[in-house]
Amino acid sequence: MKYIITGSLGNISKPVTKNLVAAGHDVTVISSSADKKSEIESLGATAAIGSLTDSAFLKDTFQNAEMAYLMIPSDFALTDYAKFQLEVADKYVEALKGSNIKHIVLLSSLGAQLRKGAGPIDALGYLEEKLLALPGLHVNFLRPSYFFSNLFSLAGMIKHAGIAGNNFGDTDEKLVLTHTDHIAEVATAALLNPTEGKTVTNIANDERHPSEIAAILGNAVGKENTPWITFSDEDAYNGMLGAGLNESFAKLYKEMGQALRSGQMQEEYWKNRPEQLGSYKLEDFAKEFAGAYAGA
């Protein structure tokens, strides 16, 4: 099978590439960085160096492949990330139309089913819709939950203010958490075992209430009884700006928090929980968090 992997050598794409090569497949990895070429090739894959917003490059790279793993990368330097996301989505669809690709595994997210109102996830919902409109294409939408790595942003807050918080967490609903290693495992299985038609795969490692998250992370760094504080949208937004996020990302993350707070973002997950959660849990993350806390 000839595979296209987007996401360069990221936390998910790199292990997926290794797994597909080990299974004997022909793998091409797209990266915008020429510096990654030799490392991609050292994994036994072909490097395709170019931009995800370059139609000609994508069409050429996609043309003879049979299956693709698609994701929309983050770039915190972008001043209008939402616009970039939609542009990449449109370029993907354009390139697929002239290719032999019949199977897509998309790194989407919980909340994509809302299509609107979930911040950075809205563009993934947009791409899901576009892919569903392509005739003869079989799609598997991977919908992981809130990344454990997002919790690293709490390190400075706990260290300097003695609290953890965001603009959600004031209801009884637990926050569903996912680790990228588990996403890579699920993505690999999805790529090696293509499905027909439309498939939605919810992905999670743990389900914990924000107050529990605050307490466990606090304990891991010697700050017992760290409370979870639910901020107003304005305070959360200003806090993100103060932490160095630009207005584009702060606005999107504020909207994602609103979708979590309303219960809409995870609503579909509770109706269709994965049969098995990943083995990595909050207590495992707490050990990693302690290392980040030391440098906060």
Give pLDDT, residue 202.
98
| Whole-Å CA distances, 90 to 17, 55, 64, 72, 129 | 24, 9, 19, 11, 11
Q: What is the mean pLDDT of the chain?
A: 97
What CA–CA distance (Å, rounded) separates 91 from 271?
Answer: 33
Q: Is the pLDDT of residue 32 over 90?
A: yes
90 and 189, same structural domain? yes
Q: pLDDT tens, 104-121?
A: 999 999 999 999 999 999
Q: Which residues contact 171 (CB under 8 A, 6 or more apart)?
A: 261, 263
Phi, psi of 203 (to 5 degrees): -130, 130
Range of the domain at 126: 2-145+179-203
DSSP H helix total and E strand total for the chain: 12, 12
81 and 185 share a domain? yes
28-39: average pLDDT: 98
Answer yes or no: are the C-beta atoms of 229 and 165 closer than 8 Å: yes
Q: How far apart are CA 130 and CA 80, in angstroms?
A: 21
Same domain, residue pair 189 and 226: no
Collapsing DSSP states into helix, strand and coil, what is residue 189?
helix
Kindly report, residue by residue over 196-234, the tens digit of the pLDDT: 999 999 999 999 999 999 999 999 999 999 999 999 999
Domain with residue 214: its CATH number is 3.90.25.10
pLDDT-derived band of residue 295, with 50, 70 and 90 as boundaries? confident
Q: How many domains are contained in the chain?
A: 2
Instruction: Identify whether the C-beta of residue 156 lies closer than 8 Å to the C-beta of residue 221.
Output: no
Residues 162, 186 within the same domain: no
pLDDT at position 203 is 99
pLDDT for res 238: 97
Pair (32, 79) in one structural domain: yes
> Which residue, chain included where needed, has tokens 């497949």?
25
pTM for this entry: 0.96
Residues 15 and 117 in one domain: yes
